[in-house]
Amino acid sequence: MQWKPEFSVGVEAFDQDHKILFDLVDQFEIAGTTGKSREHIAAVLDTLVDYTKTHFKREEDMMEKYGYAGLQAHRHAHSRLAKQVTDFCTLYEGGDTSITNDLVAFMNNWLQIHILDEDMDYKEFLGGKEV
């Protein structure tokens, strides 16, 4: 999946993060479907999970900086999603690589929900401000 202009949340740094996240999901899909080693696939997955957490922290820090009213709700959404991703990864790393496609579909869907349902809520308030 590709980032599209309508995904823009009005904060350049976060648009960049979202592009990188889509890219990492793609890399994971490629690694998982082209017969790469388990170690390689696990390394891509780790990078994806780490970047997700870094991105969430960056968003929360900015919300805090400007006193965004939706911070608590957003924080909850972030920790819920981070847990889902981590659970999925634990399953994946513990066993069957045939779930690669499910995991890719989940990640792409999850990323779209994160951007379009949740991040769009802060667009008006944080858009154009300094991170």
Q: What residues make contact with Fe ion under the rule CB under 5 A?
A: 119
**Of 42 and 82, which CB lies nearer to Fe ion in the complex structure?**
82
Query: What distance in Å separates the CA atoms of residue 93 and residue 64, rounded to the nearest whole number?
Result: 34
The torsion region of residue 110 among left (phi > 0), alpha (psi -120 to 50) and beta comes to: alpha
| Residues 91 and 99: beta-carbon distance below 8 Å | yes
**Of 14 and 28, which CB lies nearer to Fe ion in the complex structure?**
14
CB of 78 to Fe ion, least distance (A): 8
CB of 114 to Fe ion, least distance (A): 5
The alpha-carbon radius of gyration of the chain (Å, integer) is 15
Q: Which residue is nearest to Fe ion (CB)?
A: 119
Torsion angle, CA of 110/111/113/118, rounded to 10 degrees? 130
**Of 19 and 40, which CB lies nearer to Fe ion in the complex structure?**
19
**Of 29 and 119, which CB lies nearer to Fe ion in the complex structure?**
119
CB of 10 to Fe ion, least distance (A): 12
CB of 89 to Fe ion, least distance (A): 19
